Amino acid sequence: MSKTLQIRGLRKVYEAQGRSVEAVGDLTFSVEASELVCVVGPSGCGKTTLLRCIAGLLEPTGGEVLLQGTRVAGPPPDLAVVFQEYGRSLFPWMTVRGNVELPLRSKRLGRDRRDELVTGALAAVGLGDVHDAYPWQLSGGMQQRVAIARAVAYEPHVLLMDEPFAAVDAQTRAELEDLVRAVWRRTGVTIVFVTHDIDEAVYLGQRVLALSSSPTVVQEDLAVDLPEERDQLTTRSDPRFTQLRTHLYAQIQQAKRGGDQPTPPASPEGAAAAPGS
């Protein structure tokens, strides 16, 4: 049981008005302790559903999620999530400091320990000077930094990130990617990072899992053999980076076409997404 996270035969079907939509078909993979795994896939392939099942926010229809050997049923205490909608995941009536501190209060940590964690986490994301600002006074990128600080201060074993930078501009996005790498290397937290951006996945991850469109399975489990020290200029112009991203891109295009899908799509959405099959 050295694996931090194990997903076994995960399946999720949404039932609505007599129609059922299969969001996740049959997913099996595992994540080692202190690993940074990126999950990519075409839009609508169930990435967010997968993440919500891991977070215990959603009950899977079949299969199971194990976090450090324990079956996930409801949000586990040592897991944090950074949501895509940063503007809606921070409490607008609390200051930046209050937002980062609130989960620590629910953990019943003492005041001194809370202060230490909050100050440390905000400094780590480069927001040491805006403790008393409200989230809506900050730019989108800074708001997402607050959300990352909140997750870091919580000291989770596993950090889930759901397309966290999809709504920020390219420049901010590059900075936040480097921030995630820095936080990960400093804390050794296990990160599962969901994105639809192949370049982002290759740049960030030690491993990239490419999902196929529905029914969702792991199409490819790719080890990223780029150097540990990464930066936006040299890493992205590394020939190996280009090779990896091109390979993944081809895989995902194939997945979209449903080219190597032996089983016919089970849901109406799958049929629409794969007209060639």
Partner 1 sequence: MTAVAAAARRALLVVGLPLALLALWWVLSADSQSFYLPPLSQILEAFASTWFGARLADDVLPSLLRLLAGFALATVAGVALGVAIGFSPRLRAALEPVLEFLRAIPPPVLVPIFILITGIGTTMKVLVIVSGCIWPILLNTVEGVRARDEVLEDTCRVYGIRGPARLRHLVLRSASPQIVTGMRQALSIGIILMVISEMFAASSGLGFTIIQFQRGFAIPEMWSGILLLGLLGVALSLAFSGFEGRVLGWYHGLRRAERGPS
Give the binding site for partner 1 (CB under 8 A): 55-57, 74-75, 77, 79-81, 83, 85, 88-89, 91-94, 102-103, 105-107, 134, 136-137, 150, 154
We find the least distance from the C-beta atom of residue 92 to partner 1, in angstroms, to be 5
Task: Write out the chain in H/E/C secondary structure.
Answer: CCEEEEEEEEEEEEEECCEEEEEEEEEEEEEECCCEEEEECCCCCCHHHHHHHHCCCCCCCEEEEEECCEECCCCCCCEEEECCCHHHHCCCCCCHHHHHHHHHHHCCCCHHHHHHHHHHHHHHCCCCCCCCCCHHHCCHHHHHHHHHHHHHHCCCCEEEEECCCCCCCHHHHHHHHHHHHHHHHHHCCEEEEECCCHHHHHHHCCEEEEECCCCCCEEEEEECCCCCCCCHHHHHHCHHHHHHHHHHHHHHHHHHHCCCCCCCCCCHHHHHHCCCC
Query: Distance between CA atoms of 115 and 117, rounded to whole angstroms?
Result: 6
We find the least distance from the C-beta atom of residue 74 to partner 1, in angstroms, to be 8
We find the least distance from the C-beta atom of residue 232 to partner 1, in angstroms, to be 27
We find the least distance from the C-beta atom of residue 39 to partner 1, in angstroms, to be 18
- Closer residue to partner 1 in complex, CB, 75/227: 75
We find the least distance from the C-beta atom of residue 93 to partner 1, in angstroms, to be 4
- Closer residue to partner 1 in complex, CB, 9/77: 77
- Closer residue to partner 1 in complex, CB, 81/204: 81
- Closer residue to partner 1 in complex, CB, 95/235: 95
- Closer residue to partner 1 in complex, CB, 74/239: 74
We find the least distance from the C-beta atom of residue 231 to partner 1, in angstroms, to be 31
- Closer residue to partner 1 in complex, CB, 99/212: 99
